[in-house]
Structure 1
Amino acid sequence: MTNSQDAAATTSTSIHAQQGEAQPALVLVNLGTPTAPEPGPVRAFLREFLSDRRVIEMSPLLWKPILEGIILRVRPREVAGKYRSIWMDEGSPLMHYTREQARLLGERLPGARVEVAMRYGQPSIGSVLDRLHAEGVRRVAILPAYPQYAASTVTTINDAVAQWIGRNRDGFELRLHRSFPAAPAYIEALATALERHWERVGRPNFLTGDRVVVSFHSIPVAMDEAGDPYRAECRHTVAALESRLGLAMGSLTATFQSVFGRAEWLGPQTIEEMAELGAAKCPRVDVICPGFMADCLETLEEIDQLNRETFVEAGGGDFHYVPWGNDSEGAVASLEEQACIALAGWV
């Protein structure tokens, strides 16, 4: 071997040794949030979110005039008001709790570094991958904070990762985690949240009309008919939760929320269910949202404010929103279970 070849081999060995020393990274990804509850930041967030072809499966030639000419002119002020109603001293609830989840996961996973990324807004997936790569990390596991798989949530995260790969010559050993609709720790977290709630207020009496509603974010029916596994995974979650709670099949009422636009969406709609239950003088309803690992606009404003108001004003009795995620022991344990799968063999 020549001196130059020997030097090159030594350098290559040194580089790989340095790469081998870097801890693998787990990137916990959630949807994202405006940076402030004001029209400007909300407009920027909505523009990025609603420009994603995985979210709005319409020709950009048709959709962009609607988005720019109507939605982004009208909606930001209204949506900003909703964000203000849930904003914390720490900022966005979704951002705060996702960061807390990552911090607590890091304490449980000493062999890996845990980072937070958002599909829309900051810190973006691309910026986090840029930083990890610059710091010598070469093993990365992407963990979407979505227990149920949908193209508009998990697949679009994969798209963003693929875009980063397309911009770079040197990449990562990469793992893309899927979903966990009936994972043991996840179902245990949901069940424990309900059981602790029932310890405080009493178990619901289904015979007298009490209801437990399990509300998931909806998707357009067209996405479901195109083969999206989301509805099946939501059903899987409900069945597993009923089994864990010792309830007969069908005891829990599954509904779908956050519908917008004129397309047909998966139903029944949560808010319509609340109106019907209220009109029927339902004495009590408990609502849990298994698809949201961290509280956000959809849980704190849409469910705990708008749906509560709808139920009570229609004539219903007690309304209880049952939080389960955030920085709770159960939520972190469920993420830890998935993280260990995603990082298997690396830590």
Structure 2
Amino acid sequence: MGLKKKAGVLLVNLGTPDAATPKAVKAFLSEFLHDHRVVDMTRWLWCPLLHGIILPIRVPKVAKLYQMVWMEEGSPLMVHSQRQAKQLANHLVEVPVELGMTYGSPSLKTGIDKLMEQGVEHIVVLPLYPQYSATTTAAVFDGIAKQLKTSPLLPEISFITDYHSHPLYIKALAGKVRRYWQEHGQGEYLLCSYHGIPKRFADNGDVYPKHCEITTQLLAKELQLSSKQIGMSYQSRFGREEWLTPYTDKTLEAMPSNGTKKVDIMTPAFSVDCLETLEEIAEQCKESFLDAGGDEFRYIECLNDDKQHIEMMAELIKGKL
């Protein structure tokens, strides 16, 4: 029998601007929105639209939003991701853990290079997207393949595609909710808001909405909630085409008139708090709900570096070693 190959872990998230400035936001959005997995429009149509209209309009607005949520140590997504990597490394002891972002820095190449410099021959790639989507998980796979294309030495790669129904993931979500309820009391309804994708992507075979539905069903079962106490919706739509429905903002705006005045909301598709959770959900959606006649809107934070979340990651990785 041959010697066991030295293993390492590459934790991957979407990425974030390096600073809450228009220049940094433009660089990040430009790289992100150039990916065919994210926007599949013909390049000769998309590029002039992106650089001539979308970026000039969106960049100043998005930079201001980042300034509202920016932490002392940096971008929330980066800060929480770094904490996850550190906690996971502590948990796995002798297995190196590095962070890589699909867009921005530290890049996927940086993460891979750091692992290989430590003598790693087998890389377990964990994209921090519980529910698979071609727009996120597959984009990580593309990025890894691109970085290894010119490498003279290929490491063995184990790729974790999703964990939407993993028992420890469901228990971690339920644990977060229970602890929140113990401290703040239970609302009338728990809304699970997932990041949206164009409906066309799902029609063409992306399993993302099925995964979101299964996560919600398993969480409802774990928390012993009926369909009148828990539901799901999709946020962060962009452009004019139809995205997955129901939309989070529209769902929240309709709730008070339908008798739900006290709502708890969580975002199971996000492994860490970021602009989409801290600003879009915790601020914009809260305002929409209260303006529509709601009494209480309570945002339950992402799993971040929660102990149960790290234990779940470790279990996923051990299954690949």
Taking structure 2 as the reference length, what is the TM-score of the superposition? 0.96
- Displacement, 1:97? 0.6
| Partner Cα separation in structure 1 for residue 260 and residue 148 of structure 2 | 53
Contact residue 96 and residue 115 of structure 2 kept, 8 A: no
Letter in 1 for 2:151: N
216, 219, 226: which one pairs with 1:248?
Answer: 226
| Partner Cα separation in structure 2 for residue 49 and residue 324 of structure 1 | 23
Contact residue 281 and residue 315 of structure 1 kept, 8 A: no
Letter in 2 for 1:182: S
Contact residue 219 and residue 265 of structure 1 kept, 8 A: yes
Give the aligned partner of residue 118 of structure 1.
Answer: 101
Q: Matched residue of 2:319: which SS? A: helix
Give the aligned partner of residue 7 of structure 1.
Answer: none
Give the aligned partner of residue 159 of structure 1.
Answer: 142
**1:89-104, aligned counterparts within 5 Å?**
89-104=72-87
- Displacement, 1:275? 1.1
320, 323, 328: which one pairs with 2:306?
Answer: 328
Give the aligned partner of residue 198 of structure 1.
Answer: 181
Letter in 2 for 1:337: E
- Displacement, 1:167? 1.4
Contact residue 324 and residue 331 of structure 1 kept, 8 A: no
Letter in 1 for 2:214: H
Cα-to-partner distance string for 1:26-73 (whole Å, 9 max, x where unaligned): 000000000011100000000000000000011111111110101111
| Partner Cα separation in structure 1 for residue 61 and residue 226 of structure 2 | 41
Contact residue 239 and residue 249 of structure 1 kept, 8 A: no
| Partner Cα separation in structure 1 for residue 49 and residue 263 of structure 2 | 38
Comparing 273-282 with 184-193, which one deviates more in the overlay? 273-282
- Displacement, 1:280? 4.0
| Partner Cα separation in structure 1 for residue 41 and residue 296 of structure 2 | 41
- Displacement, 1:143? 0.3
Letter in 1 for 2:84: Q
- Displacement, 1:139? 1.1
288, 295, 318: which one pairs with 1:310?
Answer: 288
**Runs (4+) off by over 4 Å:** none
User: Does 2:91 match 1:108?
Assistant: yes
* CA 1:243–1:280: 2 relative to 1, 3 Å: closer
Contact residue 279 and residue 315 of structure 1 kept, 8 A: yes
| Partner Cα separation in structure 1 for residue 302 and residue 75 of structure 2 | 18
| Partner Cα separation in structure 1 for residue 33 and residue 119 of structure 2 | 34
| Partner Cα separation in structure 2 for residue 329 and residue 129 of structure 1 | 26
User: Does 2:223 match 1:223?
Assistant: no
Structure with a larger share of its residues in helix: 1
Contact residue 33 and residue 92 of structure 1 kept, 8 A: yes
Contact residue 24 and residue 111 of structure 1 kept, 8 A: no
| Partner Cα separation in structure 2 for residue 98 and residue 339 of structure 1 | 17
Give the aligned partner of residue 275 of structure 1.
Answer: 253
Q: Matched residue of 1:120: which SS? A: coil
Aligned residues: 320
| Partner Cα separation in structure 1 for residue 174 and residue 118 of structure 2 | 40
| Partner Cα separation in structure 1 for residue 71 and residue 257 of structure 2 | 34
Give the aligned partner of residue 139 of structure 1.
Answer: 122
Letter in 2 for 1:184: P
User: Does 2:140 match 1:149?
Assistant: no
| Partner Cα separation in structure 2 for residue 61 and residue 53 of structure 1 | 13
- Displacement, 1:251? 3.5
- Displacement, 1:249? 4.5
Letter in 2 for 1:42: V
Q: Matched residue of 1:141: which SS? A: strand
Comparing 186-195 with 131-140, which one deviates more in the overlay? 131-140
Q: Which runs of 5+ in 2 are unaligned?
A: none
Contact residue 87 and residue 93 of structure 1 kept, 8 A: yes
| Partner Cα separation in structure 2 for residue 111 and residue 341 of structure 1 | 16
| Partner Cα separation in structure 1 for residue 117 and residue 302 of structure 2 | 36
| Partner Cα separation in structure 2 for residue 135 and residue 292 of structure 1 | 30
Give the aligned partner of residue 286 of structure 1.
Answer: 264
Contact residue 98 and residue 115 of structure 2 kept, 8 A: no
Contact residue 10 and residue 124 of structure 2 kept, 8 A: yes
Letter in 1 for 2:255: L
Contact residue 258 and residue 298 of structure 1 kept, 8 A: yes
Identical residues among aligned pairs (%): 38
166, 175, 182: which one pairs with 1:183?
Answer: 166
User: Does 2:320 match 1:319?
Assistant: no
- Displacement, 1:333? 2.0
| Partner Cα separation in structure 2 for residue 287 and residue 48 of structure 1 | 31
